[in-house]
Structure 1
Amino acid sequence: MEQLDEAVSEETPAYWVKSAEKTLAVLLAFSADEPRLTITRAAAKADLSRAAARRFLLTLTDLGYLRNDGSVFELTPRALDIGATFLSSLTLPQIAEPHLKQLAVDLDETASLCILDGTDVVYISRVLAPRMLRVSVNVGTRFPAWATSMGRVLVAGLPLASREAFFDGIEITQYTQHTVSSIAELREEVERTAERGWSLVSRELDDGLRGLAVPVRRGGDLIAALNVSLQTHRGPEATIAETILPRLQAAAERIADDFGGRGARQ
């Protein structure tokens, strides 16, 4: 063991605190797949002797980061304190970006995150599909909320009084032959969106634009809309709802969780 420690010391800086490394190794041994660990299992995952793992586990229990039930240990909510400062410093676009990147790769479609500002949607994060060669919409771009899937999701999430105020504050413009033709028709579309929890808008703002959007919720709060721009070959609405919608909803939930939604649901 002394020879091993000497070898390690030659490879690490003089300031290296081995006990800090081991402490983190024990904490990181706990995972979603194995939230409860015995001393033996924790020792194996942290690459420690059983005696050393026991000392670390008991110390972390005394400090409040773990609790034990007989021979089994598990994390406590206090373990969240370790990453809380980092998470609190992240903005929603920063948190969403890796999820948007994964979605863009998985679907080969551009993924975006939008918020509602007055009667417009504003792009706060956007990742182009791998096949895209140029950027036509950037972060900060605005579109009329009523003519987009993101906007209809966000308007559908408003309290009824605010929703009616939104309708009163807009004027329908016939951008294409597919654009909704009246406030009454728009109201029906928004109500439909509210009922089913997602929106698909095809060729209403531009003949080449088609989008699917779902809400991103933290607890009971609607914080943004997640959208993917779809190619026309993706098929009819029923096919999209069956194949693409679940993946979009899962991504929205992961974004919400990383932005504090997991704690809001507890």
Structure 2
Amino acid sequence: MATLAKGLAVLGSFGEARPSMTLSEAAGATGMSRAAARRVLRTLAGLGYVAQSGRNFTLTPRILELGFAYLSTQSWLDRAEPLMKELSHAVQESCSAAILQGAEIVYVARMPAPHRIMSTTIAVGTRLPAVYTSLGRIQLGFLDEAELAACIEESRLVAHTPNAITDPERLAERIRQDHEQGFSIVDEELEKGLRSIAVPIVTRSGVNVAAINLSSHASRASTGDLTDRFLPELQAVARLISRSLP
């Protein structure tokens, strides 16, 4: 199990900020010794998940098999994607679905808007801090007090914008309020100009599985627009998706 954990740690250390790494960089990113990182990278290369060019290691397309294996087990996505596409087209804004993984969200479906919203590209597999996204906050509300406190402690509470909440107690209170009202709005906290509203996807017994949201630029939608125009349609889609869950 320790070897598997090390392999996953190395794979997880690759990303937009580190598309390729040397042996030393991989060791530093994972906290391993150079010898341990070398063994792991050689094993991953032998399995076809990483490739080596000179001193640099990069992921290979085979890594997509792991992601597709997960997505293929999520039957609710088959129901969600056409509904999300229809909703995105109707409101002319981006519609996304994400799961909660630790202190981050992972996008599992995305219908982009015809106009750019964020400065960075969001795609399936993109990770963002849960505490600064509506998709994350609405799911964090399903955690118990100890789990939520641990997640907030693990998160980097950085003032990405003047609106960002950086006080742990205020953040926990906001998450609880969002959970009680059944939706979460994040107003220009992750990036200036970005507003979004999210609702949870739950099973019939009330277990949180994921969340979906609509995102818009502040110049096109006020927070009032999010609740008045977007929320009813978003909730209707969430109910339809939730009905496909056991």
TM bucket normalised to smaller: 0.5 to 0.7
1:151 pairs with 2:151? no
Change in 2 beyond 3 A, CA 1:204/1:90:
closer
Which of the pair has more CA radius of gyration? 1
1: distance between equivalents of 2:179 and 2:117?
A: 35
Report Cα offsets for 1:63-105 as digits up to 9, x if no partner. xxxxxxxxxxxxxxxxxxxxxxxxx976333221111101101
* 2:86 counterpart letter in structure 1: Q
Runs of 4+ residues deviating >3 angstroms = 130-135, 233-236
CA drift at 1:139: 0.2
1:116 pairs with 2:100? yes
CA drift at 1:185: 1.7
CA drift at 1:160: 2.7
1: distance between equivalents of 2:184 and 2:73?
A: 31
CA drift at 1:197: 0.9
Q: Which residue of 1 aligns with 2:55?
A: none
* 2:92 counterpart letter in structure 1: D
1: distance between equivalents of 2:133 and 2:117?
A: 23
Helix, strand or coil: the match of 2:200? strand
CA drift at 1:189: 1.1
Tell me if structure 2 keeps the 8 A contact 1:234–1:240.
Answer: no
1:252 pairs with 2:238? yes
Identity %: 33
Q: Which residue of 1 aligns with 2:87?
A: 103
Q: Which residue of 1 aligns with 2:213?
A: 227
- TM-score by structure 2 length? 0.65
* 1:125 counterpart letter in structure 2: A
Helix, strand or coil: the match of 1:94? helix
Helix, strand or coil: the match of 1:259? coil
The aligned length equals: 173
- TM-score by structure 1 length? 0.60
Change in 2 beyond 3 A, CA 1:258/1:132:
farther
* 1:195 counterpart letter in structure 2: E
CA drift at 1:147: 0.6
What are the within-5 Å matches in structure 2 for residues 100-249 of structure 1? Answer: 100-131=84-115, 136-219=121-204, 220-249=206-235
In structure 1, stretches of 5+ residues that fail to align are: 1-87, 261-266
Tell me if structure 2 keeps the 8 A contact 1:176–1:205.
Answer: yes
Tell me if structure 2 keeps the 8 A contact 1:95–1:259.
Answer: no
Helix, strand or coil: the match of 1:175? coil
1:93 pairs with 2:92? no
Aligned CA RMSD, in angstroms, stands at: 2.2
Q: Which has the higher contact order (CA 8 A, sep 6+)?
A: 2
- Which deviates the most, 179-188 or 232-241? 232-241
In structure 2, stretches of 5+ residues that fail to align are: 1-71
What are the within-5 Å matches in structure 2 for residues 18-29 of structure 1? Answer: none
